[in-house]
Amino acid sequence: MATNAEAFRRLALSLPEAEEQDHRGHPSFRVGEKIFATLWPDEHRAVLKLRLEDQADLLSASPKVFSLNAWSKQGWTNMDLEQITVPECRELLEQAWRIVAPKKLVRLHDEDKTA
């Protein structure tokens, strides 16, 4: 099943201490004050903060799903919500969240998952 804007929002906000705030007219998802994802609902697109090597792998493996943008040199990667499943989206959102979340929060999250 493809992901839609509301499913993306629910997944993003399910991450520890994630908050939604406006960012230049679009919803952004943050932990602390750091953005890990933005949502462009009218375009059925999200933008995720990824490691450059993960970005390259995704672009190579799924060019219909992932694309570059003006901030891609910093890891920001477009994701077509109509082309990605909810489980895949959840996994990528968590990866993006881990990049910007405080290390202590990531450690607590991991401990909760294994408990």
pLDDT in tens, 63-93: 999 999 999 999 999 999 999 999 999 999 9
pLDDT of residue 114: 79
Residue keyed to tokens 């090597």: 53
Q: How far from 70 is each of 67, 74, 76, 77, CA to CA, in Å?
A: 11, 9, 8, 9
Range of the domain at 68: 5-114
Q: For the segment 2-37, what is each residue's pLDDT rounded down to a tens digit?
A: 789 999 999 999 999 999 999 999 999 999 999 999
User: 36: domain CATH number?
Assistant: 3.90.1150.30
Domains of the chain: total: 1
CA separation for the pair 47, 92 (Å, rounded)? 11
Secondary structure element (H or E) that encloses residue 18, with its range: strand 18-23
One-letter identity of residue 17: E
